[in-house]
Amino acid sequence: MPTPARIAIVGAGLGGLLCARVLQRHGVPVTVFERESAPHSRSQGGTLDIHEGTGQAALRAAGLFDRFLALARPESQEWRLYDRHANLIRHDRAGEGDLSRPEIDRGELRALLLDSLAPGTVRWGHSVRAVTPQPGGTARPHHHDRPGGEDFDLVIGADGAWSRVRPALSDAQPAYSGVTLVEAHFDDVDHRHPGIARLVGRGTMSAKAGRRSLVLQRNSNGHVRAYANFRGPQDWHAGLDLADTRAVRARLLDHYQGWHESLLDILRDNEGGFTDRPVFVLPADHTWQRVPGITLLGDAAHLMPPVGVGANLALLDGAELARAVIDHPTIDQALDAYEGVMLPRAADHAKTARHLLATLMPDTDSDDAAFPDSLWPADALPAPRPAHGDRAAAGGGQHP
C-alpha cells in the first residue's frame, strides 16, 4: 500500500503471529494485542502435525521453514490403532525422509513465531473485550480496564473459539459437538511409565470402541499427553468436583469398564489431575457480511472438531491474509481476496471434519475399532489423530 496500513491483530496464537510475521517481512507495521500477561504465563498445549500444503506452506511464506524443521519430529508421524482389548489393529510409520506431517510441540512453534517478530510487536496483558467499526472504514479495539483506544485500518480477530472480535461480524456462537475430551499427562515416560511408552511408541496411539476412545500423544522431552474421548452429555461429570482427581478417575474407569488393563493404566497412572475439554464447533457454513476494517482468521472464523486441521488452517489463513494486505491497494480489496478464498475453504474442511468426528465417535457402542478405508487417502484430513493438540489439547482454545 502507498501508505502503510495501521493493522492490529487480536490474539497471539499461531495464526495471528504468523500473519504478523509475514506483514513485518514486507515492511507493514502491525500490533498484536494479547490478554496473557507474558509468553510463558500458561501451557500452550500438546503436539501438532504440520501439513505440507497448509501449515508448512505458511511457514515457508514467513521464511521460517528451516527453523521449523530444526525443531520438528518427523519420527512422530508414527501412529498405532488398538481395539479395547489392546490388540494392535494398525501400525503406520513414516517413510525415510517423509516430511508430509512432522510433529512439533505447540509451545515450541509459538516461541519460534514470537522470536521472529520485532521487539514490542506483542502487547502483553492487553485483553480486548470488543471491536467496533468507526467512520471512514477504520475499527477500534476496546480493552478491559483501559479507557479510550486506538483506531486501525484493519483489526484481525485471531482470538480463538470465544473470540471477542467475532460479534462485530457475526452472531454465531460455538455449540457443544456432543464429544468431550478429558486430558491427562505423563512425564519422563520412558523411565517412569514404560507401559505407556510401549503403547504410544514414537508418535500417537488410539484405542477405540464405539463412542469411546483413549489416545496417547508423545510430545518432546519424554512428555506424553493422554485423552479419554467419548460421546455424551457435556455434564458427564455431574455431581463430581473436577478438582477431585480420585473421584474423576473412578468415574472414568467406570466409563471404560471392560477395557484391557494396560489401557486402563492411561487413566490410573497419570500424573496430576484431569482437565475437562468439551469440544465446541461453529456452524460449518459460518460466514458474515463485510464490515469495513474487521476480519477473522483461524478458530475465530471456523472452529472445527479437533481432527488435526485447525492449527494448519490458522497458519495458512494468517499467511494468506498478510499477503492479501501486501498485494492490494486497499484494505477492502485485500479482504475481498482473502475472505473469497478462506470462507469456502473453511466450509469444505468443516464439513469433512464433522463427518470424521461422527465416524470416529459414532453414537453406538459397537466394538468395531476399524476405520473405513475412505478415511485413509493420503490427502485426507488426518483421521487417525484425534485431538492432536488442536484447540481441545491446546490448553484453552475451546474454552472461554
Residues 6+ apart with CB under 8 A from 7: 23, 28, 29, 30, 31, 152, 153, 154, 155, 156, 325
At 222 the pLDDT is 95
Give the three-state DSSP class for 75. helix
| Residue showing cell 496473557 | 36
Which of residues 383 and 55 earns the better pLDDT score?
A: 55
What CATH number does the domain containing 14 carry?
Answer: 3.50.50.60
* Joined grid coordinates for residue 90: 494398525
Using 50, 70 and 90 to split pLDDT, how confident is the model at 96?
A: confident
At 398 the pLDDT is 54
Report the pLDDT averaged over residues 3-9.
89
56: DSSP letter: I
At 374 the pLDDT is 33
Give the three-state DSSP class for 2. coil
* Joined grid coordinates for residue 4: 502503510
At 399 the pLDDT is 37
Dist. CA 103–CA 204, nearest whole Å: 10
Which of residues 279 and 384 earns the better pLDDT score?
A: 279
At 95 the pLDDT is 86
Residues of the chain above pLDDT 70, percent: 90
pLDDT(392) > 70: no
Report the pLDDT averaged over residues 234-260.
96
pLDDT(379) > 50: no
At 366 the pLDDT is 64
pLDDT(286) > 80: yes
At 396 the pLDDT is 37
Report the pLDDT averaged over residues 384-400.
36
* Position 329 in a domain: yes
Distance of CA 252 to the CA centre of its chain: 25
| Residue showing cell 500423544 | 217
Radius of gyration over alpha carbons of the chain, in Å? 21
Dist. CA 270–CA 251, nearest whole Å: 15
Contact between 307 and 349 under an 8 Å Cβ cutoff? The reply is no
* Position 218 in a domain: no
What is each CA distance from 8 to 36, 67, 100, 151, 307, in whole angstroms? 16, 26, 33, 9, 30
pLDDT, tens digit (0-9, with 9 covering 90-100), for 161-192: 999 999 999 999 999 999 999 999 999 999 99
pLDDT, tens digit (0-9, with 9 covering 90-100), for 125-156: 999 999 999 999 999 999 987 776 799 999 99
* Position 59 in a domain: yes
Torsion of CA 391, 393, 396, 400, to 10 degrees: 70
* Position 122 in a domain: yes
Answer left, alpha or beta for residue 40, where phi above 0 means left and psi between -120 and 50 means alpha.
Answer: alpha
* Position 217 in a domain: no
Using 50, 70 and 90 to split pLDDT, how confident is the model at 272?
A: very high
* Position 155 in a domain: yes
Averaged pLDDT of the chain: 90
At 269 the pLDDT is 96
pLDDT(330) > 80: yes
* Position 275 in a domain: no
| Residue showing cell 519420527 | 75
Report the pLDDT averaged over residues 304-313.
92
pLDDT(327) > 50: yes
Report the pLDDT averaged over residues 287-305.
97
pLDDT(385) > 80: no
What is each CA distance from 23 to 3, 32, 109, 327, 330, in whole angstroms? 14, 12, 18, 11, 15
Using 50, 70 and 90 to split pLDDT, how confident is the model at 382?
A: very low
Identify the domain containing residue 127 by its residue range.
7-80+99-173+282-362
In the beta sheet, which residues pair with residue 146?
Answer: 143
Neighbours of 42 (CB within 10 A): 12
Bridge-based pairing of strands 47-49 and 103-105 is antiparallel
How many domains is the chain built from? 1
Dist. CA 219–CA 208, nearest whole Å: 21
Dist. CA 301–CA 338, nearest whole Å: 12
Neighbours of 135 (CB within 10 A): 7
Alpha-helix runs per DSSP H in the chain: 14-25, 57-61, 65-71, 106-115, 189-192, 194-200, 245-255, 261-268, 299-302, 310-327, 331-360
pLDDT(376) > 90: no
Dist. CA 122–CA 192, nearest whole Å: 39
Using 50, 70 and 90 to split pLDDT, how confident is the model at 2?
A: low
Of residues 354, 373, 239, the one with CA closest to residue 306? 354
